Amino acid sequence: MAEMTDGAALSGKPAGLSPAATEYILAFADDEHMVGARHTTWIGLGPFLEEDLAFCSIAQDELGHAIALYTVVAESEGAAGEAGVDQLALLRAPDAYRSSWLAEWPCNDWAQAVVRHWLYDTAEALRWDAVAASTVPQLAAIVPGAQREEQFHTRHAAQFMAQVCTTAAAQIGTAIQELLPVAHTVWLPPVDEAAALAEGVATRSFAEMEQDWQALVEADLSKWGLPAALLRGQSASEQRQTDRTVRSPGFTPFHQDLVEVFSIDPAAVW
Amino acid sequence: MTAATQTQNTELEAVEAAVASVCDPEYPDVSIRDLGLVESVEFAKQGVLVGLIPTFSGCPALAMIAADVRHAVEALPRVSTCEVVWLTSPVWSTSRITPAAKDQLASYTVVLRAKDGGLRCPVCGSNSVSDQSEAGPTRCRSVAWCESCRNVVEVMR
């Protein structure tokens, strides 16, 4: 039986991860952390109660996934428990994070937040499937629980998008255009992806999954009466993420916000 | 059965009872055992080891539940320490909830889905309950609506 937290003392230390496996898992963990943290900004501000609650719930799941993924890395480095997770989640320098701009993007407009939820979770479900048979046993162990939760996210996104696309198609169309420069960044591969794939950390490449994702989101758009081509345009934006070592504009103050309370007393027990 | 085995069994039963005395912070009279969170209770070298499984990985009540279990078990006279481990396997599902807990949840207007996917209103008993939102007020609940008595019904998922 694999353990998520609090169990290293009795279970013994898991074997170390290769640098490529660490990069692969951190890219996923950081995406989950950032998108979860961004979703939480809608708590108390969601346009109506159900969606306020939904974003709160989904954010908690994503942060839960991030903790589970960070735990795999932390325990492999001999840093078990909350302190090890905090170190990875909060205390790295911005350029040591490996998140995509899609996950980091503020999405301060509600339509953008909903579109990002749909795009991100469609990608996330594919990413869990790709590590279900991972040769990293601690990673494979957390997949069934995450998949169970992820099905609620993708269902929620589809249900809500289907509704708003009938009543606010223009707004959703605009939000998709606005997110186009960052939409595909979720498919920027982890650093040294080839080595991770060679050792079986995952069974599918990001390039393969991106093709499936493109087909899925385009099928959704057609089903909801929006042009599938909306997601095919090339971004004219000058600022683009080229790889996962590059942080989005505005990341540093966002990161400072995330660690502000923690930094007051890093040793505090909450 | 030897006297020593008998004592051990009695002690294990006492530990299991202590674990079962812990309730979910969200439902203060529903035992975590009846909700299906308890997977294993055993004596390890260092003390008692309790294996729990989370309903949802991001549930904010996990730390509180683990602390409550530790306190309850360590309050037993013959136990020195208790460690709580959150297991990733098996994965929790509503099928782990006991019939007794199911009835208790109904008093909170929280229901479980029938095997055919149907929902029954815990307030008026009507079967005209429709799903409203996949995400409810906590991780483990979605929101439905009774067309008959017009109450909100929450569904454990």
Clarify whether residues B68 and B12 are in a common domain: yes
Clarify whether residues B85 and B123 are in a common domain: no
Question: Residue B92 phi/psi, 5° resolution?
Answer: -65, 145
ipTM: 0.81
* A30 closest CA partner among A239, A269, A254, A208: A254
Clarify whether residues B87 and B114 are in a common domain: no
- The residues, ordered by sequence, that sit 6+ positions from B21 with a Cβ below 8 Å of its Cβ are B31, B72
The closest CB to that of A145, out of B39, B51, B91, belongs to B91
The answer to whether the Cβ–Cβ distance between B89 and A2 falls below 8 Å is yes
Clarify whether residues B86 and B56 are in a common domain: yes
Amino acid at B125: G
For A25, the enclosing helix (H) or strand (E) is: helix A19-40
Residue-range definition of the domain harbouring residue B152: 109-156
Neighbour tally for A91: CB within 10 Å: 13
Indicate the DSSP class of residue A109. Answer: S
The CATH number of the domain holding residue B50 is: 3.30.300.130
Clarify whether residues B116 and B88 are in a common domain: no
Helix (H/G/I), strand (E/B), else coil: A239: coil
Find the range with the poorest average confidence among A14-23, A102-111, A218-227, B118-127.
A14-23
* A7 closest CA partner among B85, B42, B88: B85
- CA separation for the pair A102, A155 (Å, rounded): 20
Clarify whether residues B16 and B83 are in a common domain: yes
Tell me if B14 sits within 8 A of B76, measured CB to CB: yes
Question: How many independent structural domains does chain B possess?
Answer: 2
Q: List the single residue in A with minimal CA-CA distance to B54.
A: A145
Q: How confident is the model at residue A2 (pLDDT cuts 50, 70, 90)?
A: very low
In chain B, what residues touch A10 (CB-CB under 8 Å)?
44, 46, 49, 83, 85
Clarify whether residues B149 and B88 are in a common domain: no
Tell me if B126 sits within 8 A of B137, measured CB to CB: no
Amino acid at A8: A
In chain A, what residues touch B70 (CB-CB under 8 Å)?
none
Clarify whether residues B48 and B80 are in a common domain: yes
Domain covering A17-229+248-263, topology = Ferritin (1.20.1260)
Q: How confident is the model at residue A49 (pLDDT cuts 50, 70, 90)?
A: confident
Asked, for residue B102, whether it belongs to a domain, the answer is: no
What are the pLDDT digits (tens) for A184-231? 999 999 999 999 999 999 999 999 999 999 999 999 999 999 998 888
**How far lies A110's CA from each of A73, A107, A224, in Å?**
34, 7, 19
Helix (H/G/I), strand (E/B), else coil: B141: strand
Spacing of C-alpha B10 from chain mean position: 24
The answer to whether the Cβ–Cβ distance between A142 and B88 falls below 8 Å is yes
The answer to whether the Cβ–Cβ distance between A145 and B142 falls below 8 Å is no
Q: Give the pLDDT confidence score for residue B139 in this predicted structure.
A: 82
Spacing of C-alpha A199 from chain mean position: 23
What are the pLDDT digits (tens) for B70-117? 999 999 998 999 999 999 899 999 999 999 999 999 999 999 999 898
Angle of the A81-90 helix axis to the A49-76 helix axis, nearest 10: 110
Find tokens 């069974």 and name the residue. Answer: A203
Strands (E), chain A: 3-5
The answer to whether the Cβ–Cβ distance between A64 and B137 falls below 8 Å is no
The answer to whether the Cβ–Cβ distance between B88 and A145 falls below 8 Å is yes
Clarify whether residues B145 and B117 are in a common domain: yes
In chain B, what residues touch A50 (CB-CB under 8 Å)?
132-133, 135, 143
The pair of three-digit structure tokens given for residue A231, joined into one six-digit string: 């997601």
Q: Considering only CB atoms, which residues of chain A are within 8 Å of chain B?
A: 1-7, 9-11, 36, 50-51, 53-65, 67-68, 141-142, 144-146, 148-149, 152, 155-156, 159
Q: Give the pLDDT confidence score for residue A268 in this predicted structure.
A: 84
Tell me if A231 sits within 8 A of A221, measured CB to CB: yes
- The residues, ordered by sequence, that sit 6+ positions from B63 with a Cβ below 8 Å of its Cβ are none
What are the pLDDT digits (tens) for A240-260? 899 999 999 999 999 999 999
Amino acid at A118: W
Neighbour tally for B65: CB within 10 Å: 23
Average pLDDT, chain A: 91
Q: Give the pLDDT confidence score for residue A240 in this predicted structure.
A: 87
